[in-house]
Structure 1
Amino acid sequence: MLSSRPYLARALYEWLLDNDNTPYIVVDAEQDGVQVPRQHVQNGQIVLNIAPGAVRDLLIANEGVSFNARFGGQPMHVSVPTPALVALYSRENGVGMVFGHEPVMPGADEETFGEAADLESSASPRPTLASVGSASAAVDEGNGKQASAATEESPVEVKDGEASDSDEQSTDGDDQPKPPRKGRPSLRVIK
């Protein structure tokens, strides 16, 4: 299963901007693949302003967050893999989210997710649809007569306060159901 962290980060980022807040991210600078200005790292973490006025080319992708920014007047490309994203919050009021540790789902890591789906789809044949004719136009091959699904079942009449035979057990001691009525179906109006 894919990580929910980038999806939540994109949503929070957009929500904070819509509410005129400044989005900040907290990054675990000690994880592999993190490219941040090391001179500003404190206690293994760094807080970065990712507001549109502070960064250029911001991309919050499933793989991570990347952008270009200036630190002490020096341009730098910042890259933060998704697992290194610790939190996203508002500078003004602290509203946001701290991302906890995500459990690893057995048998569904990101690298083999697409490959497993390809193998599964190639292993089983695709189902096909078959055309089925109308029941009223079906011809009984045994005697050449037309058969109808409606003629094989008797019409059910239900009066107010009564239940059909299929809803209740027969109380007359006869456990055998009545044979269906043959012939053309009819509708009787009961007042």
Structure 2
Amino acid sequence: MTAITANRPYLLRAYYEWLMDNHLTPHVVVDAFVKGTQVPQQFVKDGQIVLNIAEGAVASLHMGNDFIEFNARFGGVPQQVVVPLAAIVAIYARENGAGTVFDMEDAYMIESELDQLSSVAPALSSVKDTNSEEAQAPKETTKRRSHLTLVE
């Protein structure tokens, strides 16, 4: 059985079209720390940025299955914005808040986990070799069982 594709790009385009058809201003909430995200960092707050993606606010908007790309001005400075679909948290209308928050999909979670694993490198440090009794005596530890449970 082949893996099912993520539904986020399709839902995002549908909500965008619905908001535009109703003469509302679509905004997307973006997780600015997702790998591949290119947004103006000076406007990022608490790891997120809200972007107005209405036709009048952006140029060359392309909403693909992997990325949203467009050109826009931030503080009068033209910039190219690239947002991976995994970084899109929500889309909503500025005027009334109509829209949706996206759930984390398996396709994006696996991608995120792989990125985290590849960025974690084991750290080695030198340890002073001591022959003291403390270093050679076994230490008694009481290992407590974790209160967390795995939910699948």
Shared fold (TM-score, shorter chain, > 0.5): yes
Task: Indicate the structure with greater strand content.
Answer: 2
Tell me if structure 1 keeps the 8 A contact 2:34–2:87: yes
Measured against aligned partners, the alpha-carbon deviations of 1:79-121 in whole angstroms (never above 9, x if no partner) come to 000100110000000010100111249xxx9xxxxxxxxxxxx
Q: Distance in 1 between matches of 2:17 and 2:45?
A: 27
Measured against aligned partners, the alpha-carbon deviations of 1:62-92 in whole angstroms (never above 9, x if no partner) come to 0111100000110000000010011000000
2:83 is matched with which residue? 80
Identity among equivalent pairs (%): 57
- The yes-or-no answer on 1:15 pairing with 2:18 is yes
* Secondary structure at 1:48 match in 2: strand
Q: Normalising by the residue count of structure 2, what TM-score does the alignment of the two structures yield?
A: 0.68
| Aligned residue identity for 2:53 | I
2:69 is matched with which residue: 60, 66, 73?
66
2:51 is matched with which residue? 48
2:93 is matched with which residue? 90
Change (3 A) 1:79 1:104: closer
- Alignment gaps of 5+ in structure 2: 112-152
* Secondary structure at 2:38 match in 1: coil
Q: Normalising by the residue count of structure 1, what TM-score does the alignment of the two structures yield?
A: 0.54
Q: Distance in 2 between matches of 1:95 and 1:103?
A: 25
Q: Distance in 2 between matches of 1:32 and 1:101?
A: 15
Q: Distance in 2 between matches of 1:80 and 1:104?
A: 16
- The yes-or-no answer on 1:39 pairing with 2:10 is no
Q: Distance in 2 between matches of 1:34 and 1:84?
A: 7
| Aligned residue identity for 1:2 | T
* Secondary structure at 1:30 match in 2: coil
Q: CA deviation at 1:2?
A: 1.1
State the structure with bigger RCO (CA 8 A, min sep 6), 1 or 2: 2
| Aligned residue identity for 2:49 | I
1:29 is matched with which residue? 32
* Secondary structure at 1:67 match in 2: strand
Larger Cα Rg: Structure 1 or Structure 2?
1
